[in-house]
Amino acid sequence: MGTTMSEPCIYDKLSESIDILRQSGYRYGMSEREIERFIKQVLETNEPRREPPQFPILRATIKFVVAVCFLLMAVLAFTYPQSGPSARSGQLGLLQLVISSQPRPPAVSAHCQEVQLARFS
């Protein structure tokens, strides 16, 4: 299945590991039953652990895109007209747009409408 003759299969490696564990058990004077429990315990608890996959190129790309977006937003915030004659012509600056979208109390809103009507008349 994809293994070559020089590469031992998983069952050969497992058999070697069990033989080594069995020899270690005999060396330390364990009974056959204790050796079997020891082998079972080692095989159940000593599973190979894999680290989560790392995608360094994807992470770098995401960081780059976020940095460019942040930079563009900063440039837009400082280059959009903030006040002056262009604000009267219908173009609102980015900060004015944010401020104007917040709800105002009715008394302040009415006063602002009077000031705007007086300014354009």
Distance of alpha carbon 74 from alpha carbon 70, whole angstroms: 6
Q: Is the pTM of this model over 0.75?
A: no
Q: How many CB atoms lie within 10 A of CB 80?
A: 15
pLDDT digits 0-9 by tens, 94-114: 555 555 555 655 555 565 666
User: Under 8 Å CB-to-CB from 21, ≥6 apart: which residues?
Assistant: 35, 38, 39, 42
In the prediction, which pLDDT does 17 show? 85
The runs of H, that is alpha helices, within 46-93 are 56-79, 85-88
pLDDT digits 0-9 by tens, 77-98: 888 766 555 444 455 555 555 5
pLDDT digits 0-9 by tens, 39-80: 888 888 876 667 777 888 999 999 999 999 999 999 988 887
In the prediction, which pLDDT does 65 show? 97
